[in-house]
Amino acid sequence: MNGPHDLGGQHGFGPVAPEPNEPVFHGDWEKRALGVTLACGAFGAWNIDESRHARENIPPATYLSASYYEIWIRALETLLQRHGFVSAAELAEGRMLEKGAEPKRILLADMVPMVLARGGPCDRPVEAAPRFAAGARVRTRNFNPATHTRLPRYARGKVGVVEAVQGSFVFADDNAHGRGENPQWLYTVVFDGAEIWGEGAAPGLTVSIDAWESYLEPV
């Protein structure tokens, strides 16, 4: 979707403001936000692509004025309601009112080291051979789905070169919407700065994205 999250090439956000000696967390609520988000992810009710899409769906004015942990919490509230774990009334009252859906799994403290160390690999085998080889010239598709995609707007309809075939991975655009993992080959595609930004592009700049096969057409 062409949401507020798709920020590459937008103007007006001012300088980057690195914070000297930045702490890992800026308050207790950030710690709890991280922990609750990961613990609820462990339910097995949604995948990382659905959660990214929930964040993208936050209204633009809210998204752009929120800190990232706030974005996470707003999206988590959406996911918990969508999957029946928590109701809007409960969120309003701040307490349990009814029993909700049963998760596949509840993350207990003793499982945490193993779960974090294992992560969630999303490489999957694909039967067909890759359509493109390193060195191939490709054009990214120009589309504007209202659904989840990982092809940023700035990189649509652009000609680049396949630098590497990176293996085959769960296709985020389908997985976010419960349409299955439908793995595809993934490619690192490099673009000249001028192909993307045109006049006045920074000299000597190249930009790469990691693009699923269906994002690409041969040139």
Q: Of 66-85, which residues contact other proteins (CB under 8 A)?
A: 67-70, 73, 76-77, 80, 85
38 binds other proteins (CB under 8 A): yes
CB nearer other proteins, residue 24 or residue 129:
24
For residue 46, state whether it binds other proteins (rule: CB under 8 A): no
Q: Rg of the chain over CA atoms, in angstroms? A: 20
Phi, psi of 30 (to 5 degrees): -70, -40
Within residues 174-193, the interface with other proteins by CB under 8 A covers 186, 188, 190
Closest contact distance (angstroms) between CB of 12 and other proteins is 8
Spatial CA neighbour of 163 closest among 140, 138, 183, 142: 138
Closest contact distance (angstroms) between CB of 205 and other proteins is 5
**Is residue 36 close enough to count as binding other proteins by CB under 8 A?**
yes
Residues from 132 through 161 that contact other proteins (CB under 8 A): 150-152, 154-155
φ and ψ at residue 50, rounded to 5 degrees: -65, -35
- Least distance from other proteins to the Cβ atom of residue 21, Å: 11
CA 197 → CA 124, 144, 153, 156, 205, distances in Å? 34, 19, 12, 12, 10
The closest of 87, 57, 60 to 4, measured between CA atoms, is 60
- If one asks whether residue 216 binds other proteins (CB under 8 A), the answer comes out as no
Query: Rounded to whole angstroms, what are the CA distances from 124 to 89, 166, 185, 206?
Result: 40, 12, 9, 29
User: Binders of other proteins: how many residues, by CB under 8 A?
Assistant: 93
**Member of 61, 104, 118, 129 binding other proteins (CB under 8 A):** 118
- Judged by DSSP in three states, 140 sits in strand
User: Does 126 sit near other proteins (CB under 8 A)?
Assistant: no
Residue 162 main-chain phi, psi, to 5 deg = -70, 120
Supply the minimum distance, in Å, between the C-beta of residue 118 and other proteins: 6
Within positions 88 to 117, which residues make up the interface with other proteins, using CB under 8 A? 90-91, 94-96, 99-100, 103, 106-109, 111-113, 115-117
